[in-house]
Chains A and B, each alone.
Chain A
Amino acid sequence: MSATAVHSLWTTASGVTSAAPGDRFTAPTIEYAQLAPVLIIVGAAVLGVLAEAFVPRKARYHTQLLLTVVALAAAFAAVVALAAGGYGTTKAQIAAMGAIAIDGPTLFLQGTILLVSVVSVFTFAERRLDPTAHGNRVDSFAAQAGTVPGSESEKAAVRAGFTTTEVFPLVLFSVAGMLVFPAANDLLTLFIALEVFSLPLYLLCAVARRKRLMSQEAAVKYFLLGAFSSAFLLFGIALLYGYAGSLSYATIANVVDGSVLEIDPALAGTMGNDALLLIGGAMILTGLLFKVGAVPFHMWTPDVYQGAPTPVTGFMAAATKVAAFGALLRLLYVVLPGLTWDLRPVLWAVAIITMLGGAVVAITQTDIKRLLAYSSIAHAGFILAGVIATSPEGVSSVLFYLGAYSFVTVGAFAVVTLVRDAGGEATHLSKWAGLGRRSPLVAAVFAVFLLAFAGIPLTSGFSGKFAVFKAAAESGAGALVVVGVISSAIAAFFYIRVIVLMFFSEPKADGPTVAVPSPLTMTTIAVGVAVTLVLGLAPQYFLDLAGQAGVFVR
């Protein structure tokens, strides 16, 4: 249908007059209440910057931590209030002059991002794992990020006991971007949100206290490739504007399905040209697939996950994935439903190679952080299977999966921060041998997370995977489910191998020790385990919640 409608648009373009040129400027209406979660976070981030400038150095850590946690909690409260007020269902609406959609998926994903951010921030604030440097407690971040690694000035900063408390406002800015990303209802907002959450992440990746060169290399790679992918996204946006004459999701969708017949004279040469639509759509897709880490746009993932400070890795792996999949869902369900049949084969192929590629390459990894990176790639493939379902069950299963997966991820990376030797975190797998004999509790907790990654029943991983595969199978993607199950089997191999390594190998004499963390990291891990088990044992309430949240507003 769209093809013929578009074609008629194309040929009748010259005969249509433009809209009246004399439109006056009107002040935009902003629904502050509905935007409260984002506004709270942005406000707190700005306050954080001010705190860096005005609060004495000694008090900064506590001030920033308090500010961040309070802001995240308040924003979460706002999300809950909105959801309770029916904004997720009956009162779902487009806010801020069409820029932001407040609906079920938005609120669900914002809630997930905020909760995950809270527990991630706890790991950011952990200061008991590293031995004290010159009498000062230190965290995972460089004393002064601007100093050259190994230089005198770095040593001076360490001696002075500096810490990079800027990470807290950076996280808040990033969270603000992530909150907007899945809610963006026009392409420009989408792009701005992307940059708002990506730029602080690039910085955060670069500020590791140990292995600083590796950290900086990771940040540069991430930045370069991120910029590259942003370029694709931006060019795609331009093409779609050329096609539809608008950046608004709703308008583009209407043009795609042929219910808009007016043509903007300024775009008479391009509007309705399907080639623009297809190329633009594919390019935007590319940008988003980069962010979720789908093959073949995944190559930044292992390097960045490995190089970034582990708390940042956990945060990035969990929260970015949630935000990016949210945006991808909205794009496919709201903007491009008319292109479902054009995009489906491509998405199928991407999902398949993502699942298989992530699982297969993970087998030969020897570093726990890289292993988890490939695992996250495989999981991106599983989630894509749910995205492709293009049904309400597909949406809700993806929402559920994201919630379940993000907590497992944050928890798993938090455990990684605990296993240390003289050089900091001992991330090489050979050092994890026999960990279960020395620290049975930590090993057992990590085993729970690994089993959840593998999708073993009674963990959230199983509930999520089951929901996603069920939705995919019901929408006719049975073959995809078969591939999913096969790659799950491959993936189970390396997850279980780590468990075997921890429990059934002799500990090494010079093996790492498990540092006893402060209550902050303990909370992160405990929440991770609790969510994993609750979603595994009694998932129904949360499945229902995701089910209710599964409808996009248009």
Chain B
Amino acid sequence: MENLIALLVAAPLLGAAVLLCGGRRLDRAGHWLGTVLAAASFVVGVVLFADMLGKGAEDRALHQHLFSWIPVEGFQADIAFQLDQLSMTFVLLITGVGTLIHIYSIGYMEHDERRRRFFGYLNLFLAAMLILVIADNYLLLYVGWEGVGLASYLLIGFWQHKPSAASAAKKAFLVNRVGDMGLSIAIMLMFTTFGTFAFGPVLESTGETSEGKLTAIGLMLLLAACGKSAQVPLQSWLGDAMEGPTPVSALIHAATMVTAGVYLIVRSGAIFNGAPDAQLVVAIVGAVTLIFGAIVGCAKDDIKKALAGSTMSQIGYMILAAGLGPIGYIFAIMHLVTHGFFKAGLFLGAGSVMHGMNDEVDMRKYGGLRKYMPVTFITFGLGYLAIIGFPGLSGFFSKDKIIEAAFAKGGTEGWILGSVALLGAAITAFYMTRVMLMTFFGEKRWQPDAEGHEPHPHESPKSMTIPMIVLAVGSVFAGGFFAIGDRFVNWLEPVTGYEHGHSPLSVATVTGATVVALVIGVGIAWAMYGRKPVPVLAPRGSLLTRAARRDLLQDDFNHVVLVRGGEHLTRSLVYVDHSLVDGVVNGTAASVGGLSGRLRKLQNGYARSYAVSMFGGAAVVIAATLLMRAV
């Protein structure tokens, strides 16, 4: 059975290779090939999953050693896979949602000339993401980590003819490099500390390692997670990443890749358990981002950017949960999976709306679409209810557990983190209701596009609606299925460990408070966008709104601190290089050249002066030899 693991990666990798190298001949069938191979990977995943279910909890983990990558004395890097319950969860999410989005893209990208290439990149992404989650060591994980970064870069910039897309891709790549540096430093630290970077030996020997080292490794891992998962302070790229085609936003920048940071932290749980300080920083980063993203989401009029803010915020929840330690790891993953369903569904819904509205993204130019796009409306609506945590739907179960766990952290920290999580729930309800109302309700505010075409909203083709329906079903039922009877906890506990937290508040109190927060959020949104008509031109707004529209000034901050600072640093280095370094180099060259010119004159062509040189040389040699003995 374990020999199947490599197939998971091999199928999409083959697809990427064939589609990207195959050339135009494949233009007509390429998208089918890509979709079939993604589905094949999903089927392999399901087969492995069924096999895993048939085994006892303790021996479910599978290993496959492909080959030794860098076999050097004292440095052993292997291409080897490990499929345990945690990896399995991700494999199913990635291949499942991935396949749906492949299908959706067939319709969505129908008129794009470069559709084959698009599917090649999607397959490349799947392969890299799978490597990331089934690697059995940090080095191979890093390969996948960089691979998804590459695929993300290629897909954000897929419409490279748009300067905004090209620069968004570069921004995503550059910001991610900062995080990647964190991961590579963490791996180096691991190697010097443990002498290996395989998960097993590293995570088992954390007990014998000093807390300081674990804290350093943990903080570097957190830096990596911040980059990939768009957490403060490396969050700035995610909003711009919405320049990519919408299926990409759904798959990579909502459901899967951006959750890689959560995976990394949960996978490295043993390290964070041994480093409480690092763990606390994780929780704080999560809490800050969860509010940060939510506020940004409130102010955006671009539907995809509003959803991007929401993604940031929801991943903040997951990171917060992961920072709570064993009481939170499983809920982080659970929210990750349910989020994968409803956020992918929401993005696909947004894509469907854009598809019908001449690619318009400004929600102020939507309105009243529910009658024209019923399937989109219903599936989007179910995703909406799931994300705000409507009782009984997926988001309710997973988010509620995180809020409970945050309170259960105990002490002042617990109260603060819990309250923040609760506040976040209210804001989530507000901004999602706003999106819903502006898009599907109210009167039509449609505007002709730049070329003067009036929008004629219509329902999208089947290839697009079916994936949306499937994801909507997941958004409704997944949470309940996981939470009832602690199914998910029992499933993951052998891998991540689990402690039942003891909240100072009763479960009923927390649930009640969550529902109250939800009602308040929805109520305010209704008051602002439901009762009153929405202006087509955005009002000036309060200071906070204006700041939030500019992503809470994150780019301005980066510009002032990093860009300006970097420019000054570079300029001064260039100055030093020109004046000092070049001066020394050129000066040396000039003096050597001058010396050469002068020495050359000794070579005057007269045998007599050559003989004198020899004679002098011999005299010196003899004298020096004698002198050495005398000394």
B628 an interface residue at 8 Å Cβ cutoff? yes
Complex A-B: 5 CB contacts under 8 Å: A286-B621, A297-B618, A346-B628, A364-B597, A490-B592
A360 and B628 contact, CB distance less than 8 A: no
CA of A289 to CA of B226, assembled, Å: 67
Q: Beyond the given A289-B621, A343-B628, A363-B592, could you list 18 further A-B residue pairs with CB under 8 A, ordered by the A residue number?
A: A220-B607, A221-B607, A221-B610, A225-B607, A228-B611, A228-B614, A229-B614, A281-B625, A282-B618, A282-B621, A283-B618, A299-B614, A302-B603, A346-B625, A361-B596, A361-B603, A365-B600, A493-B589
Provide the B580-601 mask, 1 if CB < 8 A to any CB of A, else 0: 0000000001001101110110
Interface residues on A, range: 35 or more
CB contacts (< 8 Å) of B595 on chain A: these are: 360
A360 vs B590: C-alpha distance in the bound complex, in angstroms? 11
Residues of A within 8 A of B613 (CB): 296-297, 299
Q: Is B452 an interface residue (CB 8 A)?
A: no
Among residues of A, the one whose C-beta sits closest to the C-beta of B594 is: A364
Residue of B nearest to A235 (CB): B618
| Chain B 596-631 residues near chain A, CB threshold 8 A | 596-597, 599-600, 602-603, 605, 607, 609-611, 613-618, 621-622, 624-626, 628-629
Docked complex Cα distance between A282 and B618 (Å): 8
- Interface SS of chain A: helix, strand, loop or mixed? helix
The contact of A341 among B599, B602, B610, B628, by CB within 8 Å, is: B628
- Do the beta carbons of A279 and B596 come within 8 Å of each other? no
Q: Using A220-B607, A225-B607, A296-B613 as known contacts, say yes or no to A232 and B618 having CB atoms under 8 A apart.
A: yes
Whether a CB of chain B sits under 8 angstroms from the CB of A85 is: no
> Are B622 and A282 within 8 A (Cβ)?
yes
Q: Are A303 and B605 within 8 A (Cβ)?
A: yes
Kindly identify which residue among B592, B602, B617 contacts A297, using a CB–CB cutoff of 8 Å: B617
A351-395 contact mask (Cβ, 8 Å, vs B): 1 or 0: 000000100111111000000000000000000000000000000
The answer, yes or no, to whether A278 is at the interface (CB within 8 Å) is yes
Name A300's contact: one of B596, B600, B610, B624 (CB within 8 Å): B610
The total of chain B residues at the interface (CB under 8 A) is 28
Chain A residues in the interface with B (C-beta under 8 A): 220-221, 224-225, 228-229, 232, 274-275, 278-279, 281-283, 285-286, 289-290, 295-297, 299-300, 302-303, 341-343, 345-346, 349-350, 357, 360-365, 490, 493
Is B611 touching A225 in the complex (CB atoms < 8 A)? yes
Given contacts A274-B629, A360-B592, contact A224 B611 (CB under 8 A): yes
A302 to B296, CA, bound (A): 77
Residue on A with the closest CB to B604?
A: A299
CB of A275 within 8 A of CB of B626, answer yes
Q: Are A363 and B610 touching (Cβ within 8 A)? A: no
Cα A228 to Cα B608 in complex, Å, equals 11
A365, B597: Cα distance in complex, Å: 9
- Least distance between B22 CB and chain A CB atoms (Å): 35
- Would you call A363 and B596 a contact (CB within 8 A)? yes
CA of A282 to CA of B621, assembled, Å? 6
Q: Measured between alpha carbons, how far is A278 from B626 in the docked complex, in Å? A: 6
Least CB distance, B444 to chain A, in whole angstroms: 66
What residues on A are CB-neighbors of B603 within 8 Å? 299, 302-303, 361
Partner among B616, B622, B625 whose Cβ is within 8 Å of the Cβ of A296? B616
A357 partner, pick from B589, B599, B622, beta carbons under 8 A:
B599
Would A296 and B626 count as touching, CB distance under 8 A? no
* Residue in A297, A303, A345, A490 whose CB lies within 8 Å of B628: A345
Contact A346 B621 (CB under 8 A): yes
Contact B625 A361 (CB under 8 A): no
* Most chain A CB within a 10 A radius of its CB, from B593, B615, B618, B624: B618
Q: How far is the CA of A361 from the CA of B602 in the complex (A)?
A: 10
